[in-house]
Structure 1
Amino acid sequence: MKRLLSTYASDIAAMSPQDLKRSIRASEGRIVMGETVVTAAPLIAGVSNAEMMAAFSCDLLVLNELDVFKPEIVGFYDCPNPIAELKRLTGRPIGINLEPVDGSQELLENQVDLPAGRLVSSQSLQQAQELGVDFIMLTGNPATGVSLAAISEAIALTKQHFSGLVFAGKMHGAGLGEAVVDASALLDFVRLGADGILVPAVGTVPGVREDQLAPIVDQVKAQGALVISTIGTSQESADSQTVRDFALSNKRVGSDIHHIGDGSYGRMPDPENILALSLAVRGKRHTYFKMGQSVRR
C-alpha cells in the first residue's frame, strides 16, 4: 500500500475504495482536493479545469454541478463518459457533489432549484456508480437548502447504492441558518457509514474556531473516518497568504484532506492558490512530484 502522496496514475487505477481511503490516511494530512464547476467555461480554453487542477498538484478532483443523467462538461470534447475520460487524462480519483435538499427548511435567501441529476436519489447514485465516480460529496451549494439532517438521511441511501467513498458535511450554510459545525451530527455521520467528514476551514465560515474543531476532528478520526477541511466561501480567490493561513490551520486542527473550492475565475481555484496551499502543507518536494509526473507512469 502506497500513501496517495507518493502514487502514480497506475497505482491509483489499481486501488479499491478502501485502498484509497487508507492511502489518504497514510499521507498524514498532505492531500489536496480541488473543485471545479462543470457548467462554466474552463479557465483556459482547450484545457479542462480538472486537468489544470491536477497540473497544479491536486490529488483529488471534484466536479461540481454535474448532472449525472446529462454528464456534460462545458468546453470539454464530446465523449461517451467524461468521468472516465478525465480519469484517463489526469490519473486522479474523481468525485462529484450530490445534494440532499431538505424541503422542510425555510431558507434565508431565494432557493436554487436543482435538476434530478444533482440530487441524492437511488437513481442518481446508481448512475454515478455506472459513470465510475470514485467518491461522492454529500453537501450543499449556496441557496440549495441542504441541511445536516438531510445529509444524515442520505448517507445510508448512498452506502446502499454506491460502492465508492462517501464524504458528508457542509462547507457553509447552503442557504440555511443552522450551525455548520455540529459535533453530534458529524459524529453521527461516521456512525452511519460516512468515510469522511467535511468541516469548514477555520477563517471561512464565521465563528468556526480551531479550539472548536480540533476535538471533533480527534473524535472523527478515532472512529476511523477521514476529515476534509473545506474552503467553500469564495476565499479560494483570496490572496495566497490567506490560503496559506487556512492550510496551516487545517494542519493544526488535524485534517487529512485540504479542499479548495471553485469560486474563482473559470470556476475553479486560482491555480496559484492551489500551489500556495500545496506548498504550505507538503513543501516543494511532494508538490513538484505531483506536478511533474506523467499520467503514463
Structure 2
Amino acid sequence: MRMFDLFYEDYFKMRREEILAAIKNTEGRTIMAETIISTFPLLDGVSNPETAAAFSADMITLNTFNFEAPFVFGYDDSHLSPLIGIPDYAMEIQKVILKNKEDLQYIQNLKKVVGRFLGVNLEPVPEDSSYPKGLRCTEENLRKAKALGFDYVVITANPSTGVTSEGILEGIKSARTILGNETLIAAGKMHGAGAGNIYDVEIIDAFIDAGADVILLPAPGTVPGFTVDLAKNFIDLIHNKGALAMTTIGTSQEGATESFIESVAQMSKMAGADIQHTGDCGVSGMTPPENLLRMSITIRGRRHTYRKMSRSPHRVR
C-alpha cells in the first residue's frame, strides 16, 4: 500500500507500523504539510488542514495546537459570523474551547473532515520557559495526544523557544514510553530554531536509539551550506539505523516561487528523503496551495497527484 493509493477508511485503521510501511512503499513520494491552526486560515470557512489535504498532502501536522485550549480556526468557528462583533466572537470561541476540552473524539472528528493522517507539533522547551503549557512536549500533553488519537507527533523547535538537542532527546524518550508502539514519532529541527542544531552524527544516532521513527533534516537549499551531498550523507546514516528521513522547508521559503519548490523537491528526492515536508509560513499559516501542488507533481507526477486530489474524501474501498 502506498500513500497515494489509500482510501478514506485506511486513515482510521492504520497505525504506526502500517503508516511506516506505506511511507517506505511510496519511495520518497510522501508529502507532509504543516499548518498553523491558531489563527484565521487562508480561506474563510475552511481550515488550513482541509486546504492542504485538498492539494494532495498525505500527512498534516497541526502547529500551535494547544492541548489546554483545543481549537482549529476554519473548522470550529465555521458556524460563526464575523458580523457578531469581536467581543461576542471571542466569547463564542471560549464556549467551543470548553466543549472541545471534554471531547475525546475531537481529533477523530476533525480527521473525518480532513481525511488524512493528523499529527501535532510538541516543543520540549526549558522548564523556565514562558512558552504556553498546552504546546509543550510534556507527559501530560503526550498522554492527551495518545487519548485524542493523533497518528504521529513531531518533537521539534519553533523559533525562539530555546529548545536544545538534549531537550528533543528527552522528549523522544518520554514520547516513546507514553505513546507505546501505536504512534509514530518524528523528531529534529528544520533550521536553527531553538538553541543549536542537530546536524551531528552522534545526536541523530541518539534520537533513533531513543525511539524516533523519522528524523527531520533541512531540505537542500533551505539552510546555508546544506547541499544535496550533505543531506544524502545524513539520510544514508538514518536509513542504515533503520529510521526514515524527512527533508523540511521550514524557513518561510515554503512561500517562495513554484520553481524554487520544484528545485528543492528534486534535490530532496535525489538525497533519498522518504518524506518531504513543507512548512506553515507561506501565507496565512500554510504553504500556498499552488506550491503544495507543484511539490506533489514534481515528486510523483500528475497521475498520482490528480488521483489524490480527485478521490472523494469519503470514498471507501
TM-score tier (shorter): over 0.9
Matches of residues 10-159 of structure 1 in structure 2 within 5 Å?
A: 10-77=9-76, 78=96, 80=103, 81-102=105-126, 113-159=130-176
| CA offsets 1:2-59 (integer angstroms, 9 cap, x no match) | 1222111112222121111111111000001111111110111111111100000000
SS in 1 for 2:242: coil
Distance 1:159 1:103 in 2: 20
Contact 2:219 2:231 in 1 (8 A): no
Contact 2:198 2:204 in 1 (8 A): no
| CA offsets 1:126-185 (integer angstroms, 9 cap, x no match) | 011111111000000011111111111111100011141000100011143x23422221
Q: Does 1:170 align with 2:169?
A: no
Match of 1:107 in 2: none
Contact 1:102 1:150 in 2 (8 A): yes
Distance 2:127 2:233 in 1: 32
| CA offsets 1:63-86 (integer angstroms, 9 cap, x no match) | 001111221112322564542222
Contact 2:255 2:291 in 1 (8 A): yes
Deviation at 1:103, TM superposition (A): 5.8
Distance 1:75 1:30 in 2: 28
User: Structure 2 residue aligned with 1:269, among 287, 306, 309?
Assistant: 287
TM-score w.r.t. structure 2 length? Answer: 0.87
| CA offsets 1:210-264 (integer angstroms, 9 cap, x no match) | 2222122112112221111100000000000001111011101100101000002
SS in 1 for 2:308: helix
Contact 2:52 2:289 in 1 (8 A): yes
Match of 2:177 in 1: 160
Contact 1:172 1:205 in 2 (8 A): yes
Identify which range, 205-214 or 128-137, moves more after superposition. 205-214
User: Structure 1 residue aligned with 2:222, among 204, 215, 218?
Assistant: 204
SS in 1 for 2:284: helix
SS in 2 for 1:277: helix
Distance 1:124 1:19 in 2: 24
Match of 2:252 in 1: 234
**CA gap 1:93/1:161 in 2 versus in 1, 3 angstroms:** same
Identify which range, 147-156 or 195-204, moves more after superposition. 147-156
User: Structure 2 residue aligned with 1:249, among 267, 278, 303?
Assistant: 267
Aligned residues: 288
TM-score w.r.t. structure 1 length? Answer: 0.93
Match of 1:213 in 2: 231
Residue type of the partner of 1:221? H
Residue type of the partner of 2:213? D
Q: Which runs of 4+ in 1 moved over 4 A?
A: none
Runs of 5+ in structure 2 lacking a partner?
77-95
Identify which range, 67-76 or 165-174, moves more after superposition. 67-76
Distance 2:221 2:162 in 1: 23
Distance 1:28 1:217 in 2: 14
Residue type of the partner of 1:31? T
Match of 1:109 in 2: none
Coordinate RMSD, CA, aligned: 1.5
Distance 1:5 1:219 in 2: 27
Distance 1:168 1:175 in 2: 13
Distance 1:103 1:132 in 2: 26
Residue type of the partner of 1:148? S
Distance 1:281 1:47 in 2: 27
Contact 1:169 1:198 in 2 (8 A): yes
